Amino acid sequence: MSELVERFRAVFDAVGAEAITRERERRLPYAEIELLRKAGFTKVTLPREYGGDAATHSEFFELLVELARRDSNLAQLFRSHFSFIDRTVLSPPSSQREARLKRVATGAIIGNASHEKSAAKVGSLSTTLNEDLVLDGTKYYSTGTLFADVVSVAASRGDQVVGVLVDTGAPGVERVDDWTGFGQRMTGSGTTIFSSVAVDEDDVVSFDREQASHGGAFVQLVLLAAVTGIGRAIVDDAVAYLRARTRNYSHGSGATVQQDPLVQEVVGTLSAHSFAADSAFAAAVRGLDASTAAIVGGADAETRTARIAEVEFATTRAQLVVLPNVLAAATELFEVGGASAVDTGLALDRHWRNARTIASHNPAKYRARAVGDQLINDTPIVAWWSTGEA
């Protein structure tokens, strides 16, 4: 375990203490997020001159997996926050970059408002920023925004797509807690409405999708971190359940359930599923370290592009290992016990529901096809994709 994991162990245990109760009651984790903020978690990837820990990607993602092990909702809801820090840290020096990093340094949490369920075509947005710097639109799946101080909004500005930073308490901003998915129910992934919101020009950044960036891999790895953490939690829950179990079956294969070789085999299989997820995930994150080194080290454009392509490919393949292994483990978990394992007090079903919900963000068949297309036809993995009307 890294020094950072050891340092945050106690606060992670604290925010995970009531995870099952929150799951049953759908209690939003406002208090837990404040604990994480006060402990400095929201600043771990900031450079030291801004009060952060300058955590490497490998250090940060191991930390995120351990948070997800306690509560996968908490890991996912910080997705946009840490993505924002990463792309800002790696951007060229400017007064705008300085102002954004200082915003996070003061403790601000960044949310997301990018996806829509409008009539806009694929690749287009109905949310607009007009010539008077007034923002209007409705966003869905605004993960983390219920808990955020600032939200990053994707909008059309003429024929450009821009990112706009908006204070969540600004006039005209409405955050709605209407996320009804059966999993990841406490991520704050509801609707955000912007009605004639005045914007400052300094808070507007143009997107250049042609510029090589590992940002697409980064946001996918946050989701995979949450699922990898679920895999570890499945093993934890299986072991805890069995150590406490006193009942057994007359037709069981051991004197006690703990001594039953079939039950032991199930736990061993769960651990192997988790190990496979851990290994694939760690391999993809190492690629992110390599792409960062190329960017920060001033490597030539060809080298940077190559490193970024490698991490996109590794991340896409990792999805095809992490997701099915953890989903399989979430089902096989119930083979360790009888009817008592489905008691709602244990909430063991949360692991499958949460992993399945995250997996549905990016249909795995599309990801497998993209890998095959690259191997056969040298077609690059698409880093940034969008949704909309066909």
Domain C-terminal end among 105, 120, 144:
105
CB 82, CB 53: distance < 8 Å: no
Examine the domain organization and report whether 101 and 120 are in the same domain. Answer: no
Strand partners, 204: 164
Nearest residue to 310 (alpha-carbon basis) of 386, 359, 374, 384: 374
pLDDT tens per residue across span 137-177? 999 999 999 999 999 999 999 988 999 999 999 999 999 99
Examine the domain organization and report whether 72 and 138 are in the same domain. Answer: no
Q: Mean pLDDT throughout 9-28?
A: 96
Domain C-terminal end among 186, 206, 226:
206
State the residue range of the domain holding 142. 110-206
Number of separate domains in the chain: 3
pLDDT bracket for residue 382 (50, 70, 90): confident
Q: 68 in a domain, yes or no?
A: yes
Q: 386 in a domain, yes or no?
A: no
Q: At 334, which amino acid appears? A: F
Examine the domain organization and report whether 313 and 373 are in the same domain. Answer: yes
Examine the domain organization and report whether 81 and 117 are in the same domain. Answer: no
Q: Residue 27 belongs to a domain with what CATH number?
A: 1.10.540.10
Q: Residue 328 belongs to a domain with what CATH number?
A: 1.20.140.10
Nearest residue to 289 (alpha-carbon basis) of 63, 105, 86: 86
3-state class percentages of the chain: helix first, strand second, coil last, to nearest 5:
55, 10, 30
pLDDT tens per residue across span 311-365? 999 999 999 999 999 999 999 999 988 888 899 999 999 999 999 999 998 777 8
Domain C-terminal end among 175, 206, 237:
206
Confirm whether pTM is higher than 0.85: yes
Examine the domain organization and report whether 162 and 132 are in the same domain. Answer: yes
Q: Residue 178 belongs to a domain with what CATH number?
A: 2.40.110.10
pLDDT tens per residue across span 281-322? 999 999 999 999 999 998 999 999 999 999 999 999 999 999
Report residue 157 CA to chain centroid gap. 28
Residue count of the chain: 390
Q: 123 in a domain, yes or no?
A: yes
